[in-house]
Amino acid sequence: MAKIAIYGGTFDPIHKGHLHVIAEIISRGLADRILLIPAGQPQLRGQQPVAPASDRRAMCQAAILDLPAEVAAKVEVNPIEILRQGPSFTIDTVEAVAKSYPDDQIALIIGTDAFAKINQWHRTSELQDMVEFIVIDRPEFPGEHNLDIGALNISATRVRAGDLASVSTHVATYIKEHDLYASK
């Protein structure tokens, strides 16, 4: 039985902080495989993503190219939420992933900030019964009894304002080539 970890987010854009989480989860053996899932219509965010879903998916795929080969081989971008019509609920994604990996354990990678709001999530009790949570301490939102991986204090907001040093090489190139965010 393998452990499949779902790492969802708006990834608007995916940045070095996200890649650090992925590399740490794989290198520490906390998951055998990571499904990187860009959100379609996130429900608990005040605003919708700036970049279209197709660009966010492409940036995730580009980011994998900047991971060490042994890590990248265990990461897959899954478009399930951006292809889904209507709201994206984590429980729906987990149920779909569980059908694709019926003999495996499903884990959910989330930050301490998101975990603090877990009771607001759709069908939260079912979700909590279905997955193991890998809760990552975030520099601006530390928590108790969570995984401290030395998370990087990087925000997608800074990247959207023009801080391309916070994204990997392939993502920076994609942002420039597609005139996204403040690169315009």
Say if 126 falls within a structural domain. Answer: yes
Q: Is 133 helix (H, G, I), strand (E, B) or coil?
A: strand
7-22 residue pLDDT tens = 999 999 999 999 999 9
Say if 183 falls within a structural domain. Answer: no
CA distance 109 to 154: 17
Percent of the chain with pLDDT over 70: 92
Q: Which residues are within 8 A (CB) of 34 and not within 5 positions of it... i.e. 6 or more apart? A: 4, 5, 6, 7, 22, 25, 26, 74, 75, 76, 109
Say if 169 falls within a structural domain. Answer: no
Least confident of 45-59, 83-97, 104-118, 143-157: 143-157
Mean pLDDT confidence for 69-77:
98
Say if 60 falls within a structural domain. Answer: yes
Which helix (H) or strand (E) is 57 found in, with range?
A: helix 53-64
**Cβ proximity of 47 and 62 under 8 Å:** no
Say if 163 falls within a structural domain. Answer: no
Say if 9 falls within a structural domain. Answer: yes
Say if 166 falls within a structural domain. Answer: no
**What are the backbone dihedrals phi and psi of residue 12, each rounded to the nearest 5 degrees, phi first?**
-120, 65
105-125 residue pLDDT tens = 999 999 888 898 999 999 999
125-177 residue pLDDT tens = 999 999 999 999 877 776 666 778 888 889 899 999 999 999 999 999 999 99
Handedness of CA 177, 70, 34, 140 (dihedral sign): negative
Task: Give the per-residue pLDDT at 114.
Answer: 87
The model's pTM is: 0.92
Position 3 confidence tier, pLDDT thresholds 50, 70, 90: very high
Say if 137 falls within a structural domain. Answer: yes
Handedness of CA 161, 165, 167, 168 (dihedral sign): positive
User: By residue range, what is the domain housing residue 49?
Assistant: 3-153
CA distance 46 to 28: 33
Structure token digits, residue 25: 């989860």
CATH number of the CATH domain containing 75: 3.40.50.620
The more confidently predicted of residues 181 and 144 is 181
Q: Amino acid letter at 89?
A: F
Q: How many domains, the chain?
A: 1
